[in-house]
């Protein structure tokens, strides 16, 4: 057998979902293993913990996969050491289900983490949920998580700057 090509995906595997951390992050345990690992669903970005709709997004993902045996199709490790992967429960793609339910955004910036054949369906699912006002799309002021993270980061930097400038 030839070695895998450079940049080739790791092999698919099965795992049990131990806990849903938020609308796009889980704790899993590979079948036959004892240690758990953190996983981020490829192609979606769900509301952050203190954002509106975060609880509903987490609950939706938990209802889909918590305690279930799922198939994991890895694409990479992110900068936090989490496995980034597509997740399937039977024939159902979980990232796609989260988009269809209006519980996450299609994370276009990282679309290359998704298999090419899922990019258009993910894009269409988000557009449809948005058009129909499903889930977080009921809120016209819904803020994308990447924008929320930027605002939070800027506010922390501003606060740190003020702290350095204040007289003691």
Going from the C-alpha of 98 to that of each of 7, 80, 129, 134, the distances in angstroms are 28, 22, 10, 11
b/e for 149-158, b at 16 or more Cβ within 10 A?
A: eeeeeeeeee
Q: Are strands 25-30 and 92-93 parallel, antiparallel or unpaired?
A: unpaired
Q: What are phi and psi of 32, to 5 degrees?
A: 85, 0
CA atoms of 108 and 122, how far apart (whole Å): 9
CA atoms of 12 and 66, how far apart (whole Å): 19
Q: Is 82 a catalytic residue?
A: yes
Q: Is 37 a catalytic residue?
A: no
First to last CA, the chain: 68
Identified catalytic residue from 40, 58, 100, 126: 40
Q: Is 35 a catalytic residue?
A: no
Identified catalytic residue from 9, 30, 82, 124: 82
Residues known to be catalytic = 40, 48, 82
């Amino acid at each position: 057998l030839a070695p895998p090509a450079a940049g080739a995906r790791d092999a698919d595997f099965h795992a049990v979902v131990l806990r849903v951390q938020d609308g796009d992050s889980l704790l899993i345990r590979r079948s036959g293993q004892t240690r758990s690992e953190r996983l981020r669903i490829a192609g979606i970005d769900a509301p952050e913990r203190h954002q509106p709709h975060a609880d509903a997004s987490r609950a939706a993902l938990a209802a889909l996969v918590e305690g279930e045996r799922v198939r994991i199709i890895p694409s990479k490790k992110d900068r936090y050491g989490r496995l980034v992967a597509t997740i399937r429960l039977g024939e159902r793609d979980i990232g796609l289900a989260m988009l269809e339910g209006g519980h996450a955004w299609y994370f276009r910036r990282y679309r290359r983490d998704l298999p090419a054949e899922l990019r258009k369906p993910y894009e269409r699912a988000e557009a449809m949920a948005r058009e129909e006002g499903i889930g977080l799309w009921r809120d016209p002021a819904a803020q994308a998580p990447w924008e929320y993270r930027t605002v939070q980061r800027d506010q922390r930097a501003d606060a740190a700057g003020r702290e350095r400038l204040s007289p003691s």
